[in-house]
Amino acid sequence: MKKTTKVPKQELAGSLADFLCFAVYSTNLAFGRAYKRLFDELGITYPQYATLIALNEAGEQTVGALGDKLFLESSTLTPLLKRLEAAGYVTRRRDPADERQVRVSLTSEGKAIFEQAFCGRESVIEATGLDPETFVRLQRDLITLRDNLLAASDK
């Protein structure tokens, strides 16, 4: 007995493997696991590491500027920064010239942790198993995708 009438429905259904969003989502989870050992040793998390990178890169800056770079809301950053402050890795102080703003900067301990994490990333880069060409292309394509998505959802 033929089942051809059911085939079109099947084609429409879609599997997880067909979703670009799921590829991004699951790869993000995989990166988290790949970095886990290193970050556990250092006592930080991935978003905290990204924050340290941004602070190391651009020096003292406001919560808002940090959020722009990290694509995070202040409601996410405030508690994260408080944890980094409690750990002694950043300082937070109100800007005297505009008391609404909070300026964040790396302490020397924060810079040290950043450098340790930065060195430790070598093993993760190796774990990607990508040849340099694919690595660079993937990064470029992802950034294009991200910026397109953000531009579209800001409308």
Minimum gap (Å) between residue 62 Cβ and a copy of itself = 16
Distance (Å, whole) CA 36 – CA 27: 14
Task: Give the total of residues touching a copy of itself (CB under 8 A).
Answer: 60
Q: Which residues partner with 62 through β-bridges?
A: 103
Q: What angle, rounded to 10 degrees, do the helices at 46-58 and 20-42 form?
A: 80
Residue 47 found at the interface with DNA (CB under 7 A): yes
Q: x/- contact string, 52-91, with a copy of itself (CB under 8 A)?
A: -xx-xx-----------xxxx-------------------
Q: Which 26-45 positions form the footprint of a copy of itself (CB under 8 A)?
A: 26-31, 33-37
When CB distances are held under 5 to 8 angstroms depending on the partner's kind, the choice from a copy of itself, DNA, none that residue 73 binds is DNA
Residue 105 found at the interface with DNA (CB under 7 A): no
Distance (Å, whole) CA 36 – CA 117: 11
Minimum gap (Å) between residue 7 Cβ and DNA = 30
Q: How many CB atoms lie within 10 A of CB 107?
A: 16
Residue 36 found at the interface with DNA (CB under 7 A): yes
Asked if residue 61 lies in contact with residue 55, where contact means CB atoms within 8 angstroms, the answer is yes
